[in-house]
């Protein structure tokens, strides 16, 4: 009996078996995430823009009442917490597909420099929360003139 006949005419490839196992595990974990309401990605997704004077943090939080979002700035850290309520299903309805996460969320980000919490402003427009944070005057870069000796 040769190797080909033992495996139904195919040459056994351990990497193919590992790939199939990986695909099956990914499929199973994707199903578990769908039921738990969590995804592999962080929520909410953020962008952080920076210059010498200030920072702009934007977070995508559509469908969330901005009055229920908590933004806390301490030194060089910003934390954003809130909750996306579950959508109510009508009588006889069930989900066919559910990808939008529900429940509480929390993002805490380390900033590239300390900011002045008293000068932090937040606004909400069309599902995007914008948080502008300013570097304290004492920590802003200053140009130093070099004098001849």
* Interval 72-128: pLDDT, tens: 999 899 999 999 888 888 899 888 888 888 889 999 999 998 999 999 999 999 999
CA distance 90 to 100: 18
pLDDT at 103: 87
Per-residue model confidence as pLDDT tens digits over 51-72? 888 999 999 999 899 999 999 9
CA distance 92 to 111: 47
pLDDT at 40: 46
């Amino acid at each position: 009996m040769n190797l080909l006949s033992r495996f139904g005419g195919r040459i056994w490839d351990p990497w193919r078996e590992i790939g199939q196992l990986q695909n099956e595990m990914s499929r199973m974990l994707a199903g578990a995430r769908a039921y738990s309401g969590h995804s592999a990605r962080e929520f909410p997704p953020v962008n952080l823009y920076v210059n010498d004077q200030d920072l702009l943090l934007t977070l995508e939080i559509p469908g969330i009442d901005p009055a229920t979002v908590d933004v806390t700035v301490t030194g060089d850290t910003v934390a954003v917490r809130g909750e996306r309520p579950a959508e109510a299903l009508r009588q006889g309805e069930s989900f066919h597909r559910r990808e939008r996460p529900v429940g509480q969320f929390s993002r805490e980000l380390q900033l590239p420099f300390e900011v002045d919490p008293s000068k932090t402003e937040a606004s909400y427009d069309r599902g995007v929360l914008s948080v502008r944070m300013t570097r304290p005057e004492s920590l802003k870069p200053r140009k130093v003139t070099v004098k001849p000796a």
